[in-house]
Homo-oligomer: A and B are copies of this chain.
Amino acid sequence: MSLQQLQYFVVVAEEQHVTRAAARLHVTQPPLSRQIQALEDELGQPLFERRGRGIVLTAFGRYFAAEAAAILAHVDTVVAASKRWPS
């Protein structure tokens, strides 16, 4: 698992749409789909239901999206703190 995968997933979860999320993330759709799949494989849980046309978050996906956002926010906080650290 990587922080990038969490960022990717959070955006896809917000958009509920892989192609739109890819545009927001400045990547193309296939790598994004692959990273989401890799995340699901590692967690052993599906994050989205595939519906032929589009995707929908599962219950676990909603939980995980909230946690992922919290983790990323924590990271951002620490990085920001490092920028204004008294050298």
* Partner-B contacts on A (CB < 8 A): 1-4, 42-45, 60, 63-64, 67-68, 70-71, 74-75, 78-79, 81-83, 85, 87
For residue A17, give the distance in angstroms from its CB to the closest CB of chain B: 23
Chain B neighbourhood of A75, CB < 8 A? 1, 71
Cβ B2 vs Cβ A44 within 8 A: no
State A83–B64 Cα separation when bound (angstroms).
12
Chain B neighbourhood of A44, CB < 8 A? 82-83
Cβ A60 vs Cβ B74 within 8 A: no
State A7–B21 Cα separation when bound (angstroms).
28
Contact partner of A64 (CB less than 8 A), chosen from B4, B60, B74, B78, is: B78
